[in-house]
Structures are given as structure tokens and as C-alpha cells.
Amino acid sequence: MIALTYDLHNQYVTENEVTGSTEEEENRIIEDLSEKIERVDVDAEKQREERKNEGQNSSLNEEENDASEDSTESDNTDDEDGWITQENIDDTLKKLGAFEIEENMIVGCITRDFALQNVLLAMNLSLVSLSGYRIRKLKTFVLRCRTCFTTTSVMTKEFCPSCGHKTLHKCAVSVDEDGKQQLHINWDRMANRRGLVYTLANPKGGKHATNERLFEDQPMPHMRMAKVHMDPLADGPFSVHDVTSRSAMLGVRTINNRSKQSRNRNEAKRGGRRK
């Protein structure tokens, strides 16, 4: 919707501002837009007729034809009531509420979504409001520090970039005619003592503890899952039948390596004469 409004604005408004439009050109533009609306209406009527013909051909007997005709007529009446055409646009706008249009507007966008209205006004596009609810003035917000009174436009900040304290609060800002910023601070909200009555809880250890973050560079534990074996058929690090490790390849702690095994001192020594 925003892209379509922007393209039409560039096609019919910006070109006229550069070249200088006359009454004949404005009338021609209005006629072009009305022709496009009529084409849309004609296509909608063709679709209704096709649906009506399909409903009539699908009937098998007279009773089913009567029932299908009644249903198709009711559907067609609902479709006609739902479509906004050049004939019933005034009535539908009266039902929806007040209809406000700026003077000398050629291209505009109708919406009741305030977020979309904010984007349209930021892009310098014309806005048409229903029922009188619309944004009159753009608002921008900044974060202001209660300790050192510095401001930052990075809304994702949690700590002040100047003093490092966790004392940022959101406030509206506007620009004067001279280009100076003017802060609009809610002093009633500033008097709130939330977070200043009770002391901080003692920090707890472990990776599942939820401790308070007191400064920006504070290392926080990661909530990681324990490592598990991906392959259930693979041998563990402490396998009983180990034949692939380095100790097994060198023969450490094996039956064949008797010299490096621990010998029982109480065991009887070999007797006999040596030759």
C-alpha cells in the first residue's frame, strides 16, 4: 500500500511540482484516475457474472436450480453491498464516519492504522483519515539520563553511554522552527520511586540464576543445554573396550605390558637358583 501510494505520488504530484501544473492537467489526472477506478469496477462486474453463470450451469434439477438461484442472488447482493464503487462511495464513507480530505489533494492513502499514518507522514505523503482519527504531528522519542541529563537516539540502549548508570527514560522530542530540539518530559512519571525502595537481591551462582544486570559490560551466564552424545552407537570417553585411543595403541595398562603394571608387594617371589 505504501509503495503504491509512493509511486502514484511521484507520477502525479512531483512531476507537476517540477513542471508546474495547470487546471487542464489536473483535470486530465483526475480523469485518468477515474478511468482506472471504472476499469476495476468493470472487472468486478465480469467476475460476478462469471460466478453467476457457473452457479446456474452446475444445477441439476429445477428445485436445486431454485435453491441455487436464491443462494447466488443473496451472495450477489452481499458482494454488491461489499464492493465500493464510484456510485456508493459517498454512502459508505458516511456510514464509516467523517471523511477528511486536504485541499488540492491528488493522491492520498486511506487508513486508520496509526503506525501506517506515521510512516506516510514521515515520507511526506498525503493522508486521508476516516472518522476523524489521524495523526496531526509526527513524534520522535529519545532516551534521557536522569543522572547526567544526556540524551541518545539509540532506543535499544539500557545503560547511559556517558555515565554508565541504568537511569534512562523515554521522552518525546520535537524540533522548533529554528532547528533546536525541545524535550517534552513527563515530570509526574519522574516522581515515581519504583526500584528505589528495596535493596538489590544477593547474586546467585549457576547458569540458571536470574541476577540483575548492573553495568553494560557485566558477563552474564549463558543458558546453554548440556552436551549429549549425538550418535547413540558411538563409544563414550570412558569406554571399557577401548581399542582406538592413544593409550591403547601404545599398550599402556594392558596385559602384555607387565613392567608398567602395579605389582603386589606381598606376592611371593620366584625362588630357585639362577644360572
pLDDT at res. 259: 54
How much is the pTM? 0.43
- Integer Cα distance of 185 and 105 in angstroms: 36
**Which of the 8 DSSP states describes residue 103?**
T
Would you state the pLDDT for residue 157?
92
Rounded mean pLDDT, 246-265: 64
Summarize pLDDT for 53-96 with one digit per residue, the tens.
776 666 555 555 565 555 555 555 555 556 777 777 666 665 65
**Per-residue model confidence (pLDDT) at position 187:** 86
The region of weakest confidence among 76-85, 170-179, 248-257 is 76-85
Average pLDDT of the residues in 148-157: 92
User: What integer pLDDT is reported at residue 152 of this predicted model?
Assistant: 93
- Note the pLDDT of residue 23: 63
Asked whether the predicted pLDDT for residue 142 surpasses 90, the reply is yes
pLDDT band for position 124 (50/70/90)? confident
Answer yes or no: are the C-beta atoms of 111 and 120 closer than 8 Å.
yes
Give residue 12's identity as a one-letter amino acid code.
Answer: Y
Over range 213-231, report the average pLDDT. 76
Work out the percent of the chain whose per-residue pLDDT is above 70: 55
